[in-house]
Amino acid sequence: MLGTGSQVPSRTRNHNGYLLRWDSDGFLFDPGEGTQRQMTLAGAPASAITRLCLTHFHGDHCLGVPGVAQRLSLDGVRRVHAHYPASGQAYFERLRHASSFHETTELVEDPVTDDGVVARGDFGELRARRLDHPVEAFGYQLVEPDRRTMLPRLLERYGISGPDVGRLRREGTIDAGGRTVTVEEVSTVREGQRFAFVMDTRLCDNVFVLAEGADLLVIESTFLTTESELAEKYGHLTARQAARVAAESGVSTLVLTHFSQRYHDPQAFHDEASEVFGGDIVVARDLDRIPIPRRPRPK
């Protein structure tokens, strides 16, 4: 969590910034002003970034792009893909070329035009969904592919061990003691993990679509319910609304962030959310490291 504030940073909360480490990939979401420095404080190198994902072009979500773009070249990062609302193309061009520098990183622009899959890779699929904010905004969902977990007790039953296990996984069948054994007979499907990132938006259908089944949901909760009229007016969520999304979408861990500078007691956000959502709740702080919860392994 590189920054957990909103429009105005405070002494304890920087502008937005979130780095998701997913195996060999690093997804940098919404780098606000000061993100480059926050990455240094967090011990996160620019070389960790493989994709830059912007939800929209309000300053607290994108003013860190110039520094990050220049740091990528300074540190010799070869290629980074950039996803952002296509309607903000002109803003992105200004941000990435905000000042003179020797650009060596290939920053591949992949503007988001509509709902759907925006990237595929070893990580699975990166999907985007349009949100409800005064400017065009998209949320993101990372969906890992399903995999098969081999079950030792069943492998032992059929006398399959050593290199034969790998061959069975690759080829789908194997001859074991004169009997053809399929991979389905000795394994179970392990559903891929899911991550969802929802920033500035009013409550809308796509918020629930993005959050569905998420192991970790990072979601804005700019206001408390006492300011729900302000939330609606400016296109934001309350902590109670964020918790409702988590509860109705089967979320495992709920991470609240993007707090208005008007609040000084983060416990109030936890208290409000816990009235609706019974799972794990994290009220994010700058430089927190939040692990994606592991799913139970089949026996």
Alpha carbon distances (Å) from 23 to 20, 27, 50, 122, 292: 10, 11, 11, 9, 12
What's the N-to-C CA distance of the chain in angstroms?
34
Amino acid type, 121: G
Buried b (16+ CB within 10 A) or exposed e, 40-58: eebebebebbbbbbbbbbb
Q: Would residue 23 show up in a list of annotated catalytic residues for this protein? A: no
Residues linked to residue 26 through DSSP beta bridges, in sequence order: 21
Angstrom CA distances, 247 to 274, 290, 299, stand at 10, 20, 28
Q: Which amino acid is at 55?
A: T
Q: Which of 60, 200, 215, 286 is catalytic?
A: 60
CB 48 within 8 A of CB 31: no
Which residue numbers are catalytic? 60
